[in-house]
Amino acid sequence: MAKVVVVTSGKGGVGKTTTTASLGAALARTGDTVAVVDFDVGLRNLDLVMGAERRVVYDFINVAQGSVKLAQAMIRDKRIDTLWLLPASQTRDKDALTETGVARVIGELREKFDWVICDSPAGIERGATLAMRHADMAVVVTNPEVSSVRDSDRMIGLLDSKTEKAENGERIDKHLLITRFDVGRATRGEMLNIDDVLEILSTPLLGIIPESEEVLRASNLGAPVTLSSPASAPARAYIDAARRLSGEFVEMTIPSDKKNLIFKLFGRRAA
């Protein structure tokens, strides 16, 4: 039976899609079967980040409306054969995704995969609430920046009230993933540090993804960073986060790229 994970944030552009792809690939690398599901109807992008944009034939809405079978719409990753993508539709009609349709598709995915990772759209509208609806766990993606932290707080509130689990009186397992973190700026007091964010949101930490040019490089190439450069700092951080999501204990560190470290040491000496 699969674990259904929603990757959410409220605010746009904080790294939900990058996180969905990177965690999905990191989990699939271990041999688990993983389905990554794009809930951003009208603005799909997970296919692009995963490098599968030219292989999309059918989408989530086709399956939810019952016009095609799930197996016809799922796209298998070319690099890892345990990783699958269910793309969102590009239709402008956001109501095309119905509650019963989503429930049926998620139910079917649950039976076939170890992990179902739902990439939520930004905002608190229908798409976002549908993405979190059936989740067992949530990864709340937050940048160490005021508007992102505020929106994450709002999403945490919604996760505790609007999900199926919450309505049944159960607790949804919430995890905070801090992305685009810059150790240097946080140390200099120019950026909220990890403890600030954790104290404000009082949600357990899943991982800290350092700001890195590798993330943009990966999306340029159409490969999750955990596949395109698994030794890079953000990839190692995502791989650690994926292990924690599976329940493993992994010590919390902020990986850094060697090049950056040398640069920093050099910079410090020069200063």
Partner 1 sequence: MTLSRLFGRRGSAPVARERLQILLEYERGLNQSDLVATLRDEILATVSKYVTVEPDKVQVKVDRGDAVSMLEVDIEIPNPLARRQMAGSTGTATGAPKTDCGQSRAPEGSS
- Which of 153, 164, 173, 182 touches partner 1 by CB under 8 A? 153
- Which of 167, 170, 196, 213 touches partner 1 by CB under 8 A? 196
Of 66 and 267, CB closest to partner 1? 267
Of 6-65, which residues contact partner 1 (CB under 8 A)?
none
- Which of 69, 76, 78, 154 touches partner 1 by CB under 8 A? 154
- Which of 75, 149, 225, 241 touches partner 1 by CB under 8 A? 149
Query: Which has the closest alpha carbon to 210: 6, 15, 8, 4?
Result: 15
| 181 CA to centre of own chain | 16
Residue 192 contacts partner 1 per CB under 8 A: yes
Of 1 and 271, CB closest to partner 1? 271
Label the pairing between strands 75-76 and 83-86. Answer: antiparallel
Residue 190 contacts partner 1 per CB under 8 A: yes
- Which of 193, 246, 256, 260 touches partner 1 by CB under 8 A? 193
For partner 1 (CB under 8 A), the number of binding residues is: 17
Buried b (16+ CB within 10 A) or exposed e, 136-159: bbbbbbbbbeeebbebbbebbebb
- Which of 35, 36, 128, 191 touches partner 1 by CB under 8 A? 191
Q: Are 101 and 19 in contact (CB under 8 A)?
A: no
Q: What is the DSSP string of 186-225?
A: HHTTSS--HHHHHHHH---EEEEEE--HHHHHHHHHTS-H
Q: Are 118 and 7 in contact (CB under 8 A)?
A: yes
- Which of 79, 94, 104, 150 touches partner 1 by CB under 8 A? 150
Cα 171 from Cα 163, distance rounded (Å): 9
CB of 22 to partner 1, least distance (A): 26
Residues that bind partner 1 (CB under 8 A): 145-146, 149-150, 153-154, 157, 186, 188-193, 196, 200, 271
